[in-house]
Amino acid sequence: MELNRRTVIAGAAAAGIAATTLGGTAHATGGRKPVKTLFGKLADGTKIYSWALENGGTRLKVLSYGGIVQSLEIPDRRDRYANVSAGFDNVEDYVAKSPYFGALIGRYGNRIGKGKFALDGKNYQLSVNDGEQSLHGGTQGFDKRVWDIEPFTKGSDVGLHLYYTSVDGEMGYPGTLKAKVTYTLTRQGDWRIDYEATTDKATVVNLTSHVYWNLAGEGSGTIEDHELQIAASRYTPTDAGLIPTGELAKVAGTPFDFGRAKPIGRDIRVSHPQLVTAKGFDHNWVLDKGLTARPEHVATLRDPASGRTLKIATNEPGLQFYSGNFLDGTLTGPSGRTYRQGDALCLETQHFPDSPNKPKFPSTVLRPGQTYRTTTIHTFDC
């Protein structure tokens, strides 16, 4: 078996000792109890807390505002740590400026056309916040709510339970939805997200995480040299409003083919109508595995310079790859550097955009007595 940082760490954890890797030092894997500190206050005086977790060589900071991943630090091949997620260092910017940096997204991740859908013969009008569309739950989605957080340790794992109750009619959605999201750092350093939700009326739900990744480090510049692989032979083309047309188009022979790993910048400026409309990649890939009972590997992102690698496994049927097209240099991260177009990317596991209006897409309907459950696992290596 090939020795790398993760296999050495896992072996050391099993033996209860520290270990040294080739080219770096394996970090103690005993999960530290999450640490809570005051991050800031909202305008109404509500206190926003930061929770710091560390396990298996991964360091994570989460805010009670929006369930936001404020930072996620992992080492490179030389054991040098860097925060690989874009964000801010203060509450005020998250409230006033954030393009969903690191946030929990709900009730519905991605877009619903014209903010409308029908369910059981009744029409619903949602909050519209992206031209004519409803994006990521509307003007006051889950990313702008204060979540109740409970820390936990379980065996060698550490984590946080996050809770939020969305009342009937919030942002136009029917039913009172009780959401629970669990962030876990495992002894191997994986970051696992488990989503759960129940409702008292039929509704639609599609939860996801909106971390902006740059594996070279936050504020380091373009992600166009990152190599990306997505296990998908089809994607969902969109109209001018970035709403899927309903077609499941083949990626073969197009810039959307990431079946084999390739640099993101290789085809991003090809004159393809879909790239022109979205100013880059901002599309849903139809995962070959489909909707599965358990998480399966669907994507790999690698920064050749640092060696940092992110692997994503999920049971969801779709993955939204967004190449940071609308970052425009007006936002400044904790590094003190501005974020420009293509300085970070998102890989959002999900059901498809506009599914409530596309009967042929996998259903996002949740009914009383059912429990919405989905899992995404992020594995880091170098």
Catalytic residue among 170, 227, 348, 351: 348
Catalytic residue among 210, 226, 283, 351: 210
Return d(Cα 170, Cα 173) in angstroms, integer.
6
Return d(Cα 84, Cα 378) in angstroms, integer.
13
DSSP code per residue over 155-177: TTEEEEEEEEEEPTTGGG--S-E
Is-catalytic flag, 218? Answer: no
User: Quick one: tokens of 123?
Assistant: 């029409």
Distances (CA, A) of 196 to 21, 63, 179, 207: 37, 19, 6, 9
| The total number of residues written for the chain in this structure | 382
CB atoms within 10 A of CB 265: 14
Residue type, 217: G
Return d(Cα 157, Cα 71) in angstroms, integer.
19
Cα torsion at 127, 211, 182, 369 (round to 10°)?
A: 30
Which 3 state secondary structure label does DSSP give 370?
A: coil
Is-catalytic flag, 224? Answer: no
User: Quick one: tokens of 12?
Assistant: 């050391």
| 7: exposed, middle or buried (Cβ count in 10 Å: 0-12, 13-18, 19+) | middle
Nearest Cα to Cα of residue 382 among 189, 211, 251, 202: 189
Return d(Cα 243, Cα 115) in angstroms, integer.
11
CB atoms within 10 A of CB 22: 9
250 bridge partner residues? 234
Q: Are 364 and 356 in contact (CB under 8 A)?
A: yes
Q: Which residues are catalytic?
A: 210, 348
